[in-house]
Structure 1
Amino acid sequence: MATEGLTCPECGSSNIVDDQLYSQPQLVCEDCGSVISEGLLTTTASEEVQGTDIAYCYTTAVHNQPCRNLIKGLQRLRAFCRILRLKTDTEKMSETFYKQAYSHPHFINVSLQKKEVLVGCCVLVSCRLCNWPIGMGTICSLLEADPNLLGMVYLQMIKSLKIEAPNTAIIEMLEAHCQEYKLRPEHVSEGLSEDVKALTKRAIALIELAADTWIVTGRQPVPMMIACTFLAWQSLRPTKDRLKYSVDKFCQMAKVNRNQTAPKRVMELKKVLSKLGQEIPWLRVEVTLANVMPHVDDIMENQSALLRRAMRTHEESLQDEDQPDPQECPPGEHATLGSQEGTAPSQTSRDPEHHPPPQPCLAVCEPDREGAQAPSDVDPTTGTDVGQEDDGEALARPLQVPVETWSKKYLFVPPCVRHPKKRKRRVETPMPEVTGDEDISDSEIDMYIRTPQEVRDFVKTKEILSEEGEEDEQ
């Protein structure tokens, strides 16, 4: 330290020296021994003789690593997005939401189960913001999580991060959607008008049927709502005037924007209704796409029973196709087939009283009546009673068929399975098999034999190299 110009405040002496006490410099007067100043801090880094207190994050070049659970959560989120085949922007948005939610005070001290569910919530809110049709049920099935827990974490996340996610409950959207149709008596004629409450109730029933038969899966909501509303309007009063209307003409009459995909959804719903209408036991006419509208009331009342009956009929038809034709069997096998079925062909033809023709069973279409159960409610493949099982279990009951053909074996499957995308076939070029024992032709042997000119050049080059080697040794 510089001591020039300094004087002692006690004795006035200018004999001041710099005394180094360990690593702390001091200015001391030699005449009286008083300490003038101590612990002075230098102003430049080169003059410092002792380190200062600095935070740990500034003393090392290594950045803080994220939490181990955060790393696993991000890996699970990326795998989740790959399974759903989401776009890159949606995946990045999900990662951003997950990092913000993970570091939020509401999700720091929570269980690992909630943090795993948080991954699905971030993917769900990103899909809704990007207008990608992914439902909460799909997230629950992939995560194998409790729907109540997923809903609670989802509501807490959008509230904590202040995210305005759109509501995609199609039932609530349908109720508001039906209000837009101008079908009151003051807008259209009396034969074409319809009550909004009745129209909404029938449209909700149709869209629930579409959900049970996988038509809604992966589809945009607006075309589905237009199709259900149009079919509800036709089925409430299936007159000739209403049945003549198409979807586009109906939207024009109701002053609603047209949709190009709505006619396809109408055709898919009509096919499902016709399949269920064919299972109504008291109808003596064949239900087709042209005459299915007058029978929609009966189909909606007995929806669950008709779904089970249609699936059972489809399974029986597939089993009949797999069984061999009795006409093609040898003569000795006819008796075996007849004994297995419990009736011989001769007895059936000679004694019709013992084997009356099967009567249509009305109990299958009355599931609410106590003790009513149809004899055909027993599954012929497993022998179990399907009349008491849940509707969702009945729709999800698999057949014992290979995975490659299960889309054809099921009666109702998702659209992506019914119409899969065509993938490019990878043509693998076969590699040549070389063992070393192959025959060599004379022309191939001549390729490896040196010509006379090559022999002379080789000998000449060898002599030149040998002479250069001798000169280097000398």
Structure 2
Amino acid sequence: MAPLGLTCPDCSSPNIVEDDLYSQPQLVCEDCGSVVSEGALTSDRGEGTDVSYRLTTAVSKQPCVNQIKGLQRVKAICRILRLNSEIEELAETYYKQAYEHRNFINVSLQKKDALVGCCVLVSCRLRNWPITMGTVSCLLDTDPMLVGVIYQEMVKTLNIEPHSQACIADVLEAHCQEYKISSPHVPEELAEDTKDITKRAVALVELAADSWIVTGRRPLPIMMATIFLAWQSLNPTKLRLKYTLERFCQLAKVTKTKPALKRITEIKEMLCKLGQEIPWLRGVVTPDNAIQQVEYILKYRYALLRRALRTHEDALMDAQQPSCKDFQPGIQSEEPSSKVAGPSQTSWPAEQTTNKSFEEASESNTENNQQPGDEQVNLCSTGAQVSQDLEPNWGKRLLFAPPCVKHPKIRRMDKPALKDVTGEEEISDSEIDSYIRSPQEVRAFALAKMMLCSSDKH
């Protein structure tokens, strides 16, 4: 007799009977034919079934080649941005999780490359590190739109809650609320509306971003500097211009930050460089009186930026290269060279400029300045490019450059080991030339050779 309460594990049938097979008693289910022996089910249907390889082995899955390259790219971007080890480890962890997820395992290599930057970006935002999506897109050389789409999908897939990135206008407006500079708190000649200060401060922050002042900087000193300069520029009276940042903070009842003084100096220098391109104020604008021209500079900032860059390039070419007339045959040094009017040689009367806009005056000035000797200037600019390549720090050649490029940190370098010198080594012609000619002679020789080659072709 079969034990009471015993059922078949396959069909749950209670019809189980004893069956003697070759003098060996067994329990068999009459409905499905399964064999029950010693409390364990041994079904003939389960014998000989295939089992997958991953279920029969305990070997962990090894990362593929693309995943290894992606992790190396994550480390490289973290080192370029000089992130700490905590952010780097967090970015690697997110990349491993996202890469092995089914939403990213079968995507294109371009999207996997964008995933690298998204993992770094979300790690920086979780640790309050000031890195923007535009910076990551520039490092990856990828479309920012693609990076934004992958970022949103990754955050949703991994269920990450990054800190919300508010608009700069909202941040400045909230920050301006802390400054007690409205009419109920300060005298009427020192009071300003918070909305007007926010609008002017946002424009100053955008202009500072175009000139690389904001790059790699903390937001609080930038906001304090722009609010202070906006307060002065909205009504540049003698009383306001005499106020220092410390007195302004005492007036507004806020705590001063030391880096804000440096940001004020940098923004004033930038405003001075742009203000010097205003035709009727050429050579008059200084960092001390640039605040009085902020409204006009912000109104025509893009045109002034282009003109300032063009003027700086022309001045750099004239300073680094000798005059092209010294290398032209048949032209004496005493004779004046062909005049090429540049932005620094233009003088516009105030009456003419007031009747037409700045852009119209710039276009008319550019058309009038085209001379037959422009081909000569092109040859000079080519020589200037040769000399610029010899400069060790390219940031000093530019009018606006990132702070880390203009003021690089001094790093220790290991001195190369001295080799045994016997005095019988062979000397090449290039080494002999470097011993004989100075850098100025090399540049002059290269420019003269270039001029001779161009004259032979004609």
- Whether contact under 8 Å (1:213, 1:413) holds in the other structure is yes
1:85 is matched with 82
1:107 is matched with 104
Instruction: Give deviations 1:83-132, integer Å, cap 9, x for gaps.
Output: 32322211110011112223344434433322221111110111122222
How far apart in 2 are the matches of 1:187 and 1:133? 34
**How far is the alpha carbon of 1:377 from its aligned partner?**
9.2
TM-score, normalised relative to structure 1:
0.69
- Whether contact under 8 Å (1:367, 1:373) holds in the other structure is no
How far apart in 2 are the matches of 1:60 and 1:314? 69
Could you tell which deviates more after superposition, 278-287 or 368-377? 368-377
Instruction: Give deviations 1:4-29, integer Å, cap 9, x for gaps.
Output: xxxx99xxxxxxxxxxxxxxxx9646
How far apart in 2 are the matches of 1:433 and 1:116? 49
1:230 is matched with 228
Instruction: Give deviations 1:29-78, integer Å, cap 9, x for gaps.
Output: 65xx98677674799xxxxxx99997744633422223444333223222
**How far is the alpha carbon of 1:175 from its aligned partner?**
2.9
- Whether contact under 8 Å (1:363, 1:373) holds in the other structure is no
2:138 is matched with 141
Change (3 A) 1:306 1:229: same
**How far is the alpha carbon of 1:414 from its aligned partner?**
0.6
Instruction: Give deviations 1:390-423, integer Å, cap 9, x for gaps.
Output: xxxxxxxx96621624222111111001100001
**How far is the alpha carbon of 1:309 from its aligned partner?**
1.8
Change (3 A) 1:80 1:340: same
- Whether contact under 8 Å (2:26, 2:36) holds in the other structure is no
Q: Secondary structure at the match of 1:235?
A: helix
* Structure 2 unpaired stretches of 5+: 3-18, 29-34, 41-46, 376-383, 425-458
- Whether contact under 8 Å (1:28, 1:36) holds in the other structure is no
**How far is the alpha carbon of 1:292 from its aligned partner?**
1.5
How far apart in 2 are the matches of 1:377 and 1:116? 49
Could you tell which deviates more after superposition, 260-269 or 89-98? 89-98
How far apart in 2 are the matches of 1:75 and 1:286? 53
- Whether contact under 8 Å (2:70, 2:116) holds in the other structure is yes
Change (3 A) 1:379 1:204: farther
**How far is the alpha carbon of 1:182 from its aligned partner?**
1.5
Change (3 A) 1:285 1:144: closer
Change (3 A) 1:378 1:135: farther
1:178 is matched with 176
Q: Secondary structure at the match of 1:191?
A: helix
How far apart in 2 are the matches of 1:302 and 1:148? 29
1:457 is matched with none
1:455 is matched with none
- Whether contact under 8 Å (1:29, 1:36) holds in the other structure is no
Change (3 A) 1:35 1:371: closer
**How far is the alpha carbon of 1:425 from its aligned partner?**
3.1
How far apart in 2 are the matches of 1:313 and 1:198? 33
Change (3 A) 1:34 1:142: closer
1:249-260 map, 5 Å? 249-260=247-258
Q: Secondary structure at the match of 1:404?
A: coil
How far apart in 2 are the matches of 1:285 and 1:36? 109
How far apart in 1 are the matches of 2:339 and 2:268? 39
1:340-351 map, 5 Å? 340-341=337-338
Q: Residue type of the partner of 1:270? A: K
% identical aligned pairs: 48
Q: Larger Cα Rg: Structure 1 or Structure 2?
A: 1
Change (3 A) 1:424 1:292: same
1:246 equivalent in alignment to 2:234? no
1:423 equivalent in alignment to 2:420? no
Could you tell which deviates more after superposition, 318-327 or 254-263? 318-327
Q: Secondary structure at the match of 1:341?
A: coil
Q: Secondary structure at the match of 1:86?
A: coil
1:294 equivalent in alignment to 2:309? no
Change (3 A) 1:182 1:213: same
Instruction: Give deviations 1:197-255, integer Å, cap 9, x for gaps.
Output: 21111111111110111000111111101101100000010112211211122122212
How far apart in 2 are the matches of 1:284 and 1:206? 22
- Whether contact under 8 Å (2:27, 2:37) holds in the other structure is no
Q: Residue type of the partner of 1:129? A: L
**Alpha carbon RMSD of aligned pairs, Å?**
3.9
Instruction: Give deviations 1:312-351, integer Å, cap 9, x for gaps.
Output: 2222222222344799x79x987356364269xxxxxxxx
**How far is the alpha carbon of 1:269 from its aligned partner?**
0.3
- Whether contact under 8 Å (2:303, 2:359) holds in the other structure is no
How far apart in 2 are the matches of 1:224 and 1:340? 47
1:443 is matched with none
Change (3 A) 1:379 1:225: farther
- Whether contact under 8 Å (1:399, 1:409) holds in the other structure is no
Could you tell which deviates more after superposition, 180-189 or 125-134? 125-134
Q: Secondary structure at the match of 2:281?
A: coil
- Whether contact under 8 Å (2:225, 2:263) holds in the other structure is yes
Q: Residue type of the partner of 1:230? A: F
Q: Secondary structure at the match of 1:374?
A: helix
Instruction: Give deviations 1:432-459, integer Å, cap 9, x for gaps.
Output: 35799xxxxxxxxxxxxxxxxxxxxxxx
Change (3 A) 1:64 1:324: closer
How far apart in 1 are the matches of 2:26 and 2:225? 96
1:320 equivalent in alignment to 2:311? no
Change (3 A) 1:145 1:377: farther
Q: Secondary structure at the match of 1:335?
A: coil
1:130-279 map, 5 Å? 130-166=127-163, 167=165, 169-279=167-277
1:375 equivalent in alignment to 2:363? no
Q: Secondary structure at the match of 1:338?
A: coil
Change (3 A) 1:158 1:326: closer
How far apart in 1 are the matches of 2:111 and 2:339? 58
2:402 is matched with 414
Change (3 A) 1:70 1:293: same
Change (3 A) 1:103 1:383: farther
TM-score, normalised relative to structure 2:
0.71
Change (3 A) 1:35 1:263: closer
